[in-house]
């Protein structure tokens, strides 16, 4: 495979070009806002796809990590005057420790126990964010101090667009490297057969826990950036439906495909905006689309289309 | 003492609904290893359907029967239209399909009945019965009676009828069941019909106590899921015990500790069970053959 055909060469350049040229066609701040949300959802979904698509584990609580990242960063900066960047890193550290503490015992089990455990954890996080009114403002949400680093304050959707764009590029690059490393090969091996992987000397539990913690930290970072960008957060970011949306993005775009996760994030971020035209029918259509894609394109959009293209080409 | 009795009454009532929902999870899981996240919507459809039919002038028993039948039809349709075409799909894809179905059903209910809360008149008056200083609503007796009846019927069905035994056999070993001529597609269809039945019954029985609305299925569905895991996934009678246990723990937490964290109890228990008793309270330990 030449440089231009590989995901890390041509794919990354193409993504950079798209991110670079997009501002030329986006007509106003509303579109920039949607693009930023796509980028942030994309970062979470790339992490989640490492877990679901490569390690074969599902998480139904990633919105909890996203929400926790947003709230911890917001509370640390607003109430305790911690510098925003340090607050983000502290939030990521906290989420990482939490994810480790939960995943370590669960990952020993087989089957879809992680789905159940993460579901429970995510809902508990959402309930705590709703109930601890003095700290989080409760269901009404809380304002977030603006981001600043060494006196520089990003202002406006266009500046944030570039920040999220760069973060997204870095995330994609890191994820592609990870997949192509021994860790990535170990993950694919244990996805195929945990017993076979273990007998080949792969520490199955350790790799699963590592990738789970990595994806939780990515979700937390995206959550923190979201909080500083949007300036006002509510517990809705952490709720169960948001977790489902994130999983749906990954599966829709294509399991075990980094760019697929990005495409899924883009579609499911844009779709509700488009479907608002249909008012009351919005939810019905969202559900129907999710079902239809899963039934007719089982592997998700990007892998299915890529296969079709290859067949055309040959 | 009266307080404790009161909490037990409300806990068992709520627990009985969780148990019925959990039963639906267990039955479908047994037949197909699908975790049906649309289970909660069956509860919503039963409750909303019955409220709607009563409001449009049908007598209560007819409304209940029709609402239950309609929910069962929805269950079978879901299986035929969405689960069967996706057979052999990965577990993750199947989860997404049922989640899509759940969003679709909730959206349809919003279109048909709006987003308002609806109430239903209790089946036999609302005069509480005084037992040892605690008040027991007559409707609670209906819920309990309904749950007990459901369990007995299911026990008879699984233990004494040919079809029920066929379902048990398929749950135990699908390949062996197919070899002796049990139609797996029929078993799968029946499991969705049954879980539609139990979901709808739960929704209807509980509607007069807690109001019903298009989003009522989300939390009820998840709690029922917890009940099913607590009892050991795929063990119908474990799901019943799991449901009752959850209901009582919730009521006691709400009464003595904090009503704000009532909803968190079920999920906290699930995490603890996963950490310390991964096969549930009543599940059998299994070794996996490779």
Report if residue A272 sits inside a domain: no
pLDDT in tens, A2-24: 666 666 677 788 888 888 777 77
Whether residue B290 has pLDDT greater than 70 = no
Instruction: Please report whether residue B79 resides in a domain.
Output: yes
Would you say residue A217 has pLDDT above 90? yes
Average pLDDT for A213-228: 92
Give residue ranges of B with CB < 8 Å to any A CB: 35, 82, 85-86, 89-93, 95-97, 99-108, 110-111, 218, 222, 225-226, 229, 260-261, 263-264, 267-268, 270-271, 274-275, 278, 288, 290
Distance from CA of A250 to the nearest CA of B (A): 10
Nearest chain A residue (CA) to B110? A280
pLDDT of residue A290: 80
Q: What is the CATH number of the domain that holds B32?
A: 1.10.3470
Partner-chain contact B106 A283, CB within 8 Å: yes
Give the phi and the psi of residue B288 in degrees, each rounded to 5. -100, 135
- Percent of chain B at pLDDT > 90 equals 17
* Structure confidence by residue, pLDDT tens digits, A81-127: 888 888 889 999 999 999 998 888 877 776 667 778 888 888 899 88
B chain contacts of residue A117, beta-carbon cutoff 8 Å? 270-271, 274
Provide, as residue numbers in chain A, all residues whose Cβ is less than 8 Å from the Cβ of B91: 58, 112
Given CB atoms, is A294 within the 8 Å cutoff of chain B? yes
Domain with A176, as residue range(s), is 3-238
| A&B contacts, CB < 8 Å | 123
Structural domain count, chain B: 1
B202 in any annotated domain: yes
In percent, the amount of chain B with pLDDT more than 70 equals 96
What would the two tokens of residue A22 be?
A: 């997009």
Q: How far apart are CA A260 and CA A243, in angstroms?
A: 18
Q: If you measure CA to CA, which chain A residue comes closest to B115?
A: A280
Q: B208, B218 in Cβ contact below 8 A?
A: no
pLDDT value for B218: 83
B115 found inside a domain: yes
More confident residue, B224 or A290: B224
Domains of chain A: total: 1
Contact A123 B263 (CB under 8 A): yes
* Token pair 């806990």: residue: B11
Answer positive or negative: Cα dihedral of A95, A98, A104, A109.
negative
- DSSP code, position A298: T
Strands in chain B per DSSP E? 129-131, 134-136
Is B283 domain-assigned? no
B-chain residue closest to A299, CA distance: B93
Dist. CA A62–CA A47, nearest whole Å: 10
Main-chain dihedrals φ then ψ at residue B211, nearest 5 degrees = -60, 160
Residue in chain A lying closest to B263 (CA): A127
User: What average pLDDT does the segment B98-120 reach?
Assistant: 87
Q: What is the pLDDT of residue A153?
A: 74
pLDDT value, residue A97:
94
Render B35-78 in DSSP notation, one character per residue.
--TTHHHHHHHHHHHHHHHHHTT--HHHHHHHHHHHHHHHHHHH
Q: In chain A, whose CA is at the least distance from the CA of B223?
A: A120
Q: Does A284 touch chain B (CB under 8 A)?
A: yes
Confidence of residue B286 (pLDDT cuts 50, 70, 90): low
For the ranges A105-114, A148-157, B201-210, B227-236, the maximum mean pLDDT occurs at: B201-210
Has residue B285 been placed in a domain?
A: no
Are the beta carbons of A262 and A31 closer than 8 angstroms? Answer: no
Is residue B287 over pLDDT 60? no
Name the strand (E) or helix (H) holding B154.
helix B138-160
Q: Three-class SS of residue B173?
A: coil
Long-range contact list for A110-116, CB < 8 A, 24+ apart?
A: A110/A194, A110/B288, A112/A58, A112/B35, A112/B91, A113/B274, A113/B278, A114/A57, A114/A58, A114/A59, A114/A212, A115/A58, A115/A59, A115/A60, A115/B35, A115/B95, A116/A60, A116/B225, A116/B229, A116/B270, A116/B274
Residue A149, classed as helix, strand or coil, is strand
Q: Helix B216-230 crosses helix B39-55 at what angle (to 10 degrees)?
A: 140
**Residues of A with Cβ-Cβ distance to B105 under 8 angstroms:** 287
The whole-number average pLDDT for the span A273-288 is 78
Instruction: Tell me the per-residue pLDDT of B150-184, one tens digit each, with 9 for 90 and over.
Output: 888 888 888 888 888 888 888 888 888 888 888 88
The pTM score is 0.85
Q: Which of residues 191-250 of A touch B (CB under 8 A)?
A: 193, 195, 240-241, 244, 247-248
Query: Nearest chain A Cα to B271, which residue?
Result: A117
The alpha helices in chain A, defined as continuous H runs, are 12-25, 29-49, 62-80, 84-106, 113-131, 133-136, 156-179, 182-192, 194-199, 204-230, 240-253, 258-275, 282-296, 301-313
pLDDT for the residue numbered B213: 81
**What is the residue-averaged pLDDT of chain B?**
84
User: Between B171 and A62, whose confidence is greater?
Assistant: A62
pLDDT in tens, B46-98: 999 999 998 888 888 899 999 999 999 999 999 888 888 877 777 777 888 88
Terminal C-alpha separation, chain A: 16
Mean pLDDT score of chain A:
83
Looking at the partner chain, which of B92, B100, B290 has a beta carbon nearest the beta carbon of A287? B100
Contact B35, B226 (CB under 8 A): no
B145 occurs within a structural domain: yes
Is pLDDT at B193 greater than 90 in this prediction? yes
pLDDT at A263 over 80: yes
**Encoding tokens for residue B124?**
């036999």
């Amino acid at each position: 495979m030449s440089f231009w055909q590989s995901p890390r060469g041509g794919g990354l350049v193409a993504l950079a070009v798209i991110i670079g040229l997009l501002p030329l066609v986006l007509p106003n701040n509303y579109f920039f806002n949607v693009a930023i949300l796509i980028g942030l959802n994309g970062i979470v979904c790339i992490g989640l796809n490492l877990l679901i698509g490569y390690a074969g584990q599902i998480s139904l609580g990633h919105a909890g990590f996203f929400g926790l990242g947003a709230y911890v960063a917001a509370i640390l900066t607003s109430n305790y005057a911690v510098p925003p960047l340090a607050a983000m890193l502290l939030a990521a550290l906290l989420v990482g420790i939490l994810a480790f503490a939960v995943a370590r015992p669960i990952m020993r089990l087989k089957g879809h126990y992680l789905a159940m455990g993460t579901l429970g954890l995510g809902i508990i996080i959402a309930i705590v964010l709703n109930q601890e009114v003095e700290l989080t403002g409760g269901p009404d949400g809380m304002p977030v101090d603006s981001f600043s680093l060494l006196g520089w304050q990003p202002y406006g959707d266009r500046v944030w667009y570039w920040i999220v764009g760069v973060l997204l590029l870095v995330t994609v690059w890191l994820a592609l490297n990870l997949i192509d490393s021994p860790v990535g090969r170990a993950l694919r091996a244990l996805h195929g057969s945990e017993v076979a992987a273990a007998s080949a000397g792969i520490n199955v539990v350790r790799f699963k826990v590592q990738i789970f913690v990595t994806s939780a930290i990515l979700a937390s970072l995206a959550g923190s950036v979201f909080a500083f960008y949007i300036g006002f957060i509510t517990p809705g970011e952490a709720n169960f439906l948001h977790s489902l949306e994130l999983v749906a993005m990954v599966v829709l775009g294509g399991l075990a495909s980094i760019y697929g996760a990005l495409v899924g994030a883009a579609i499911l971020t844009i779709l509700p905006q488009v479907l608002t035209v249909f008012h009351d029918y919005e939810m019905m259509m969202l559900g129907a689309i999710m079902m239809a894609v899963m039934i007719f394109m089982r592997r998700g959009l990007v892998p299915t289309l890529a296969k079709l293209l290859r067949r055309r080409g040959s | 003492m009266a307080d404790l009795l009161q909490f037990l009454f409300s806990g068992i009532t709520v627990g009985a609904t969780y148990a019925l929902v959990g039963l639906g999870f267990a039955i479908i899981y047994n037949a197909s290893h699908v975790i049906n996240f649309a289970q909660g919507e069956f509860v919503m459809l039963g409750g909303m359907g019955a409220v709607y039919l009563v409001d449009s002038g049908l007598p209560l028993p007819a409304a209940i029967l029709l609402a239950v039948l309609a929910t069962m039809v929805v269950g079978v349709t879901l299986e035929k239209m969405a689960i069967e075409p996706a057979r052999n799909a990965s577990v993750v894809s199947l989860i997404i399909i049922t989640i899509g179905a759940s969003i679709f059903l909730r959206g349809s209910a919003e279109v048909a009945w709006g987003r308002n809360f609806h109430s239903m008149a209790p089946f036999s008056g609302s005069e509480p019965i005084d037992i040892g200083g605690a008040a027991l609503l007559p409707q609670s007796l209906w819920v309990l009676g309904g749950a007990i009846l459901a369990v007995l019927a299911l026990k008879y069905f699984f233990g004494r009828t040919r079809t029920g035994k066929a379902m048990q056999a398929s749950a135990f070993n699908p390949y062996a069941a197919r070899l002796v001529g049990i139609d797996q597609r029929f078993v799968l269809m029946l499991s969705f019909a049954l879980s539609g039945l139990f979901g709808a019954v739960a929704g209807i029985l509980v509607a007069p106590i807690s109001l019903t609305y298009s989003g009522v299925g989300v939390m009820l569905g998840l709690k029922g899921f917890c009940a099913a895991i607590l009892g050991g996934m795929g063990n119908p009678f474990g799901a019943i015990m799991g449901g009752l246990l959850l209901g009582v723990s919730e009521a006691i937490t709400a009464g003595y500790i904090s009503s704000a964290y009532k909803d968190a109890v079920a999920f906290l228990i699930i995490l603890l069970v996963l950490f310390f008793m991964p096969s549930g309270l009543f599940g059998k330990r299994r070794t996996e053959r490779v």
